[in-house]
Structure 1
Amino acid sequence: MDRILDRRALFRVAVVGGGAAAFSGALWQEAFAAVAQPGPSPYGELLAADANGVQLPAGFTSRVIGRSRQRVGATGYVWHDAPDGGACFPDGSGWIYVSNSEVPLVGGASAVKFTADGTISGAYRILSGTNVNCAGGATPWGTWLSCEEVPWGRVFETWPGGGRAGVERTRMGRFKHEAAACDPVRKVVYLTEDETDGCFYRFTPDTWGNLDTGRVEVLCGAADLTDGPVTWRPIPDRDGLPIPTRLQVSAAKHFNGGEGCYYANGVCYFTTKGDNRVWAYDAAAQRLSLAYDDSLIPGGAAPLTGVDNITGASSGDLFVAEDGGNMEINLITPSGVVAPFARVTGQSGSELTGPAFNPAGDRFYFSSQRGTTGQSSGGITYEVRGPFR
Structure 2
Amino acid sequence: MFIGAAAASSPQVLIGRAQAQMASELPLPVGPLANIPDVEHKTLTAGAIDGVDDEVFAPPGFDVRCVAREGLNPLTGEPAPFGYEWHLDPDGGAVYPAADDGGWVYASNSEDTPGGVGALRFDADGNLIDAYSILEGTRNNCAGGQTPWGTWLSCEETTGGQVHECDPFGSAATAVRKPALGSFPHEAVAIDPIHHACYMTEDGGNQRFWRFVSDESDLSDDNGVTRMGLESGTLQVLSIQGFEDGGYPEAADARSPQPVTWETVDIDTSGRVLFPTFQNDETTQGTRFAGGEGIWYYEFPEALRQTPAGGSVPTRGVMFFATKGDNRVWAYDIENQLIEIIYDNDNMQMETGFDQVDNVVVSPSGDVLVAEDGALMRLVVVVPNGQAKLLMQITKGGSEITGPAFTPDGSRLYFSSQRGPSGADGSGTGGATFEITIPEEYRTAPVASTPDGETPDTDRPPTGSAGALTAATVAGAGIAALANRALRPADE
TM-score normalised to structure 2 length: 0.67
Match of 2:370 in 1: 320
Partner of residue 174 from structure 1, selected from 170, 183, 192: 183
Question: Given the alignment of the two structures, is residue 351 of structure 1 paired with residue 395 of structure 2, yes or no?
Answer: no
1:128 is matched by which residue type in structure 2?
E
Map 1:150-299 onto structure 2 (within 5 A): 150-163=158-171, 164-206=173-215, 207-208=218-219, 209=227, 210-221=229-240, 222=243, 223-224=248-249, 225-226=253-254, 227=256, 228-237=258-267, 239-240=271-272, 243-244=275-276, 250=284, 252-265=286-299, 266-298=317-349
**Aligned-pair identity (%):** 41
Assess if the C-alpha contact under 8 Å between 1:82 and 1:370 holds in 2.
Answer: yes
**1:217-244 C-alpha deviation (Å, 9 max, x unpaired):** 1111123242322121211236345644
Contact 1:279 1:290 in 2 (8 A): yes
Q: How does 1:303-382 map to 2 (within 5 A)?
A: 303-333=353-383, 337-346=387-396, 348-372=397-421, 377-382=429-434
Inter-CA distance 241–203: structure 2 relative to 1 (3 Å threshold): closer
Deviation at 1:334, TM superposition (A): 5.3
Indicate yes or no: 2:76 matched with 1:74: yes
1:32 maps onto 2:25 in alignment:
yes
- Looking at structure 2, the residues matched to 336 and 172 of structure 1 have their Cα atoms a distance apart, in angstroms, of 39
C-alpha change, 1:333 and 1:326, in structure 2 (3 Å) is: same
The aligned counterpart of 1:21 is none
State the Cα distance separating 1:276 from its structure 2 match.
1.0
- Residues 94-149 of structure 1: CA deviation (Å, up to 9, x unaligned): 10000000001x20101000000000110000000001100000100111000000
Residue 178 of structure 2 is aligned to residue 126 of structure 1 = no
- The answer to whether the 8 Å contact 1:136/1:180 transfers is yes
Residue 145 of structure 2 aligns with an amino acid whose one-letter code is G
Contact 1:126 1:160 in 2 (8 A): yes
| CA 1:127–1:64: 2 relative to 1, 3 Å | same
Could you tell me how far apart the structure 2 residues matched to 1:127 and 1:244 are?
30
Residue 94 of structure 1 corresponds to which residue in structure 2?
Answer: 103
Deviations 1:282-311 (A, max 9, x none): 22222111221112234x624421111221
Contact 2:26 2:384 in 1 (8 A): no
- Aligned 8 A contact 2:93 2:405 in 1: yes
From 32, 44, 47, the equivalent of 2:40 is: 47
What is the deviation of 1:249?
7.1
> Structure 2 vs 1, CA of residues 372 and 303 (structure 1 numbering), >3 Å: closer, same or farther?
farther
Aligned-CA RMSD value: 2.7
Structure 2: 5+ residue stretches without partners:
1-21, 45-53, 78-82, 220-226, 300-316, 444-492
Q: Report if aligned partners of 2:28, 2:384 keep a CA contact under 8 Å in 1.
A: no
In structure 1, C-alpha distance between the alignment counterparts of 2:295 and 2:432, rounded to whole Å: 22
CA distance in 2, matches of 1:119, 1:379: 21
Task: Check whether the contact 1:235–1:245 (CA below 8 A) recurs between aligned residues.
Answer: no
Q: 2:196, 2:386 → 1: CA distance? A: 28
Deviation, structure 1 residue 214: 1.3
The residue matched to 2:174 in structure 1 has which SS?
coil
The equivalent of 2:461 in structure 1 is none
Which residue of the partner structure matches residue 67 of structure 2?
65
Q: Deviations over 1:226-267 (max 9, x none)?
A: 232212121123634564457797451111111111112222
SS at match of 1:171: helix
| Contact 2:275–2:284 (8 Å) recurs in 1 | no
Partner of 1:383: 435
User: What SS does structure 2 have at the residue aligned with 1:175?
Assistant: coil
**Mapping of 1:10-25 within 5 angstroms?**
none
Letter in structure 2 aligned against 1:264: Y
> Structure 1 regions of 5+ residues with no counterpart?
1-28
Deviates most, 83-92 or 335-344: 335-344
Write the letter of the residue equivalent to 2:266.
P
Which residue identity lines up with residue 324 of structure 1 in the other structure?
A: G
Per-residue Cα deviation, 1:12-35 (whole angstroms, up to 9, x for no partner): xxxxxxxxxxxxxxxxx9983499
Q: Using the TM superposition, name which of 133-142 and 326-335 deviates more.
A: 326-335
Deviation for aligned residue 1:44: 2.5
- Hey, what does 1:16 align to over in structure 2? none
| Partners of 2:213 and 2:63 in 1: CA distance | 41
Q: Deviations over 1:22-65 (max 9, x none)?
A: xxxxxxx99834999xxx94212222343452111222111000
State whether residues 101 and 133 of structure 1, in contact with CA within 8 Å, keep that contact through their aligned partners in structure 2: yes
Residue 376 to residue 44, structure 1, CA distance change in 2 (3 Å): same
Whether the aligned pair in 2 keeps the contact of 1:107 and 1:130 (CA below 8 Å) is yes
Contact 1:363 1:386 in 2 (8 A): yes
Alignment CA distance shift 1:55-1:255 (3 Å):
same
